[in-house]
Structure 1
Amino acid sequence: MKTKIFTSIFLLLTFLTTTSFISNYKIASDEIQGEVIWEGKNCDFYIIETRRYYVLVELYRGRLDKGDKVEGELHRYGFKYLKNLRTDSEIKVYIENYWSSKETCFEWLKDNNKCEFR
Protein backbone atom coordinates (compact mmCIF):
# COMPACT_ATOMS: atom_id res chain seq x y z
CA MET A 1 0.00 0.00 0.00
CA LYS A 2 2.78 2.45 0.92
CA THR A 3 4.55 1.60 -2.32
CA LYS A 4 1.45 2.52 -4.36
CA ILE A 5 1.11 5.85 -2.55
CA PHE A 6 4.81 6.59 -3.00
CA THR A 7 4.65 5.69 -6.68
CA SER A 8 1.54 7.84 -7.20
CA ILE A 9 3.13 10.84 -5.49
CA PHE A 10 6.35 10.39 -7.48
CA LEU A 11 4.46 10.21 -10.79
CA LEU A 12 2.35 13.25 -9.91
CA LEU A 13 5.40 15.33 -8.96
CA THR A 14 7.23 14.23 -12.11
CA PHE A 15 4.24 15.22 -14.27
CA LEU A 16 3.82 18.61 -12.58
CA THR A 17 7.53 19.40 -12.79
CA THR A 18 7.76 18.41 -16.45
CA THR A 19 4.69 20.39 -17.53
CA SER A 20 5.76 23.49 -15.60
CA PHE A 21 9.15 23.49 -17.34
CA ILE A 22 7.52 23.01 -20.73
CA SER A 23 5.07 25.89 -20.17
CA ASN A 24 7.75 28.27 -18.91
CA TYR A 25 10.00 27.43 -21.84
CA LYS A 26 7.22 28.14 -24.33
CA ILE A 27 6.43 31.48 -22.74
CA ALA A 28 10.11 32.39 -22.58
CA SER A 29 10.69 31.41 -26.21
CA ASP A 30 7.95 33.80 -27.39
CA GLU A 31 9.45 36.75 -25.51
CA ILE A 32 11.98 38.59 -27.66
CA GLN A 33 13.64 41.82 -26.57
CA GLY A 34 14.47 44.71 -28.82
CA GLU A 35 15.28 48.39 -28.82
CA VAL A 36 13.49 51.15 -30.70
CA ILE A 37 16.14 52.56 -33.06
CA TRP A 38 13.93 54.76 -35.27
CA GLU A 39 10.65 56.60 -34.82
CA GLY A 40 8.77 58.19 -37.67
CA LYS A 41 7.96 61.88 -37.72
CA ASN A 42 4.26 62.66 -38.01
CA CYS A 43 3.40 58.95 -38.05
CA ASP A 44 3.13 55.97 -35.72
CA PHE A 45 5.77 53.71 -37.27
CA TYR A 46 8.85 52.48 -35.42
CA ILE A 47 11.77 50.20 -36.20
CA ILE A 48 12.86 47.83 -33.44
CA GLU A 49 16.24 46.12 -33.51
CA THR A 50 16.52 42.66 -31.93
CA ARG A 51 19.69 40.60 -31.67
CA ARG A 52 19.13 39.04 -35.08
CA TYR A 53 16.82 41.22 -37.15
CA TYR A 54 14.72 44.38 -37.44
CA VAL A 55 10.98 44.68 -36.89
CA LEU A 56 8.72 47.36 -38.39
CA VAL A 57 5.73 48.14 -36.16
CA GLU A 58 2.82 50.55 -36.19
CA LEU A 59 1.82 51.79 -32.75
CA TYR A 60 -1.89 51.54 -31.88
CA ARG A 61 -1.89 52.12 -28.12
CA GLY A 62 0.66 53.35 -25.62
CA ARG A 63 3.87 55.27 -26.10
CA LEU A 64 7.25 54.48 -27.63
CA ASP A 65 10.37 56.60 -27.90
CA LYS A 66 13.70 56.03 -29.57
CA GLY A 67 15.89 54.06 -27.16
CA ASP A 68 13.01 52.27 -25.42
CA LYS A 69 13.51 48.58 -24.77
CA VAL A 70 10.52 46.37 -25.53
CA GLU A 71 9.72 42.72 -24.97
CA GLY A 72 7.16 40.44 -26.54
CA GLU A 73 6.23 38.38 -29.55
CA LEU A 74 8.28 40.17 -32.19
CA HIS A 75 8.40 37.29 -34.67
CA ARG A 76 4.88 37.11 -36.09
CA TYR A 77 2.72 39.43 -38.17
CA GLY A 78 -0.39 41.04 -36.73
CA PHE A 79 -1.52 42.81 -33.59
CA LYS A 80 0.68 42.16 -30.56
CA TYR A 81 0.86 43.40 -27.01
CA LEU A 82 4.41 44.25 -26.03
CA LYS A 83 5.89 45.43 -22.77
CA ASN A 84 7.79 48.72 -22.76
CA LEU A 85 10.52 47.89 -20.25
CA ARG A 86 11.48 51.54 -19.68
CA THR A 87 7.98 52.62 -18.63
CA ASP A 88 6.83 49.19 -17.40
CA SER A 89 3.69 49.56 -19.51
CA GLU A 90 1.85 47.56 -22.15
CA ILE A 91 1.67 48.80 -25.72
CA LYS A 92 -0.33 47.54 -28.68
CA VAL A 93 1.38 47.37 -32.07
CA TYR A 94 0.78 45.89 -35.48
CA ILE A 95 3.83 44.10 -36.84
CA GLU A 96 4.17 44.99 -40.52
CA ASN A 97 7.51 43.31 -41.13
CA TYR A 98 9.91 41.13 -39.15
CA TRP A 99 13.12 39.18 -39.82
CA SER A 100 14.07 42.19 -41.95
CA SER A 101 17.04 44.42 -42.53
CA LYS A 102 16.80 48.09 -41.63
CA GLU A 103 16.85 48.93 -45.35
CA THR A 104 13.89 46.62 -46.02
CA CYS A 105 11.89 48.41 -43.32
CA PHE A 106 12.60 51.80 -44.92
CA GLU A 107 11.73 50.41 -48.37
CA TRP A 108 8.36 49.20 -47.02
CA LEU A 109 7.63 52.66 -45.60
CA LYS A 110 8.52 54.28 -48.93
CA ASP A 111 6.56 51.75 -51.05
CA ASN A 112 3.48 52.26 -48.85
CA ASN A 113 3.78 56.08 -48.66
CA LYS A 114 4.16 56.11 -44.87
CA CYS A 115 5.92 58.71 -42.73
CA GLU A 116 6.40 61.10 -45.65
CA PHE A 117 8.80 58.71 -47.43
CA ARG A 118 8.60 59.21 -51.18
Structure 2
Amino acid sequence: MNEPMYGSVEEWVTERFVPMYRRTLGGEFRWCAQWWKHAEAISRLTALWHAWETLRLEPGTGMGVWYRDHLDHQLPILLGARGPFYQCSEDEHLEPHLATVEPAPPGWWSVPAEVPSSDGLSTIG
Protein backbone atom coordinates (compact mmCIF):
# COMPACT_ATOMS: atom_id res chain seq x y z
CA MET A 1 0.00 0.00 0.00
CA ASN A 2 1.25 3.48 -0.79
CA GLU A 3 1.98 5.87 2.03
CA PRO A 4 -0.08 9.06 2.16
CA MET A 5 1.56 12.12 0.63
CA TYR A 6 0.50 14.19 3.65
CA GLY A 7 0.78 13.05 7.25
CA SER A 8 -2.28 14.84 8.62
CA VAL A 9 -5.32 16.82 7.60
CA GLU A 10 -3.59 19.96 8.88
CA GLU A 11 -0.61 19.34 6.61
CA TRP A 12 -2.91 18.68 3.63
CA VAL A 13 -4.97 21.83 4.30
CA THR A 14 -1.87 24.00 4.77
CA GLU A 15 0.25 22.65 1.93
CA ARG A 16 -2.34 21.58 -0.64
CA PHE A 17 -5.88 22.77 -0.08
CA VAL A 18 -5.40 26.46 0.81
CA PRO A 19 -2.69 27.21 -1.79
CA MET A 20 -4.46 25.27 -4.56
CA TYR A 21 -8.17 26.09 -4.17
CA ARG A 22 -8.11 29.85 -3.75
CA ARG A 23 -11.28 31.92 -3.80
CA THR A 24 -11.81 35.62 -3.28
CA LEU A 25 -13.04 35.73 0.29
CA GLY A 26 -16.01 37.70 1.60
CA GLY A 27 -19.56 37.66 0.33
CA GLU A 28 -20.06 34.28 -1.29
CA PHE A 29 -16.94 32.59 0.13
CA ARG A 30 -15.83 32.42 3.77
CA TRP A 31 -12.72 31.05 5.45
CA CYS A 32 -11.49 30.98 9.03
CA ALA A 33 -7.75 30.91 9.69
CA GLN A 34 -8.64 28.87 12.78
CA TRP A 35 -10.49 26.30 10.68
CA TRP A 36 -9.44 23.61 13.15
CA LYS A 37 -11.90 25.11 15.69
CA HIS A 38 -14.84 24.10 13.47
CA ALA A 39 -15.84 20.44 13.88
CA GLU A 40 -17.79 20.39 10.61
CA ALA A 41 -14.84 21.86 8.72
CA ILE A 42 -12.48 19.28 10.22
CA SER A 43 -14.84 16.50 9.19
CA ARG A 44 -15.34 17.78 5.64
CA LEU A 45 -11.66 18.57 5.09
CA THR A 46 -10.63 15.17 6.45
CA ALA A 47 -13.06 13.47 4.06
CA LEU A 48 -11.62 15.52 1.18
CA TRP A 49 -8.06 14.68 2.20
CA HIS A 50 -8.71 10.93 2.53
CA ALA A 51 -10.47 10.81 -0.84
CA TRP A 52 -7.68 12.88 -2.41
CA GLU A 53 -5.00 10.54 -1.05
CA THR A 54 -6.83 7.54 -2.52
CA LEU A 55 -7.86 8.97 -5.87
CA ARG A 56 -4.53 10.69 -6.63
CA LEU A 57 -3.14 7.18 -7.16
CA GLU A 58 -5.80 6.16 -9.68
CA PRO A 59 -4.46 6.47 -13.22
CA GLY A 60 -6.46 8.34 -15.80
CA THR A 61 -9.61 9.67 -14.21
CA GLY A 62 -8.80 9.45 -10.48
CA MET A 63 -8.39 13.17 -9.93
CA GLY A 64 -11.34 13.95 -12.20
CA VAL A 65 -13.48 11.72 -10.03
CA TRP A 66 -12.14 13.48 -6.93
CA TYR A 67 -13.10 16.88 -8.32
CA ARG A 68 -16.54 15.77 -9.48
CA ASP A 69 -17.57 13.54 -6.57
CA HIS A 70 -15.78 15.23 -3.68
CA LEU A 71 -14.37 18.75 -4.10
CA ASP A 72 -17.14 20.12 -6.33
CA HIS A 73 -19.71 19.01 -3.77
CA GLN A 74 -17.87 19.99 -0.57
CA LEU A 75 -16.31 23.32 -1.56
CA PRO A 76 -19.54 25.35 -1.89
CA ILE A 77 -20.73 23.98 1.45
CA LEU A 78 -17.41 24.37 3.25
CA LEU A 79 -16.69 27.91 2.00
CA GLY A 80 -20.31 28.95 1.50
CA ALA A 81 -21.88 32.03 3.02
CA ARG A 82 -23.93 29.79 5.36
CA GLY A 83 -21.28 27.08 5.83
CA PRO A 84 -19.21 26.38 8.94
CA PHE A 85 -17.24 29.64 8.62
CA TYR A 86 -20.23 31.91 8.00
CA GLN A 87 -19.68 34.03 11.13
CA CYS A 88 -15.90 34.21 10.71
CA SER A 89 -13.61 36.24 8.55
CA GLU A 90 -10.10 35.35 7.54
CA ASP A 91 -8.90 37.56 10.40
CA GLU A 92 -11.42 36.70 13.12
CA HIS A 93 -12.82 33.46 14.50
CA LEU A 94 -16.28 33.66 16.06
CA GLU A 95 -17.50 30.65 17.97
CA PRO A 96 -20.71 29.41 16.34
CA HIS A 97 -23.90 29.41 18.40
CA LEU A 98 -24.85 25.86 19.29
CA ALA A 99 -28.43 24.78 18.83
CA THR A 100 -30.19 23.53 21.94
CA VAL A 101 -31.16 19.89 22.18
CA GLU A 102 -33.88 18.39 24.35
CA PRO A 103 -33.92 14.67 25.09
CA ALA A 104 -36.79 12.66 23.60
CA PRO A 105 -39.41 11.53 26.10
CA PRO A 106 -39.14 7.97 27.45
CA GLY A 107 -40.32 5.39 24.91
CA TRP A 108 -40.06 7.80 21.95
CA TRP A 109 -37.62 5.57 20.08
CA SER A 110 -39.38 2.27 20.86
CA VAL A 111 -40.53 0.39 17.79
CA PRO A 112 -44.28 -0.31 17.96
CA ALA A 113 -45.30 -3.95 17.71
CA GLU A 114 -46.88 -5.22 14.48
CA VAL A 115 -50.49 -6.26 14.99
CA PRO A 116 -52.22 -8.52 12.45
CA SER A 117 -55.36 -6.94 11.02
CA SER A 118 -58.57 -8.76 10.08
CA ASP A 119 -57.52 -8.86 6.40
CA GLY A 120 -54.27 -10.68 7.27
CA LEU A 121 -52.01 -7.65 6.66
CA SER A 122 -49.89 -6.37 9.49
CA THR A 123 -50.47 -2.90 10.86
CA ILE A 124 -48.42 -0.87 13.25
CA GLY A 125 -50.17 -0.55 16.56
Same topology, TM > 0.5: no
The structure with more radius of gyration: 2
- TM-score (norm: length of structure 1): 0.22
Could you say which structure has the greater relative contact order, defined with CA pairs below 8 angstroms and 6 or more residues apart? 2
- Tell me which protein shows more strand as a share of its residues: 1
- Tell me which protein shows more helix as a share of its residues: 2
- TM-score (norm: length of structure 2): 0.21
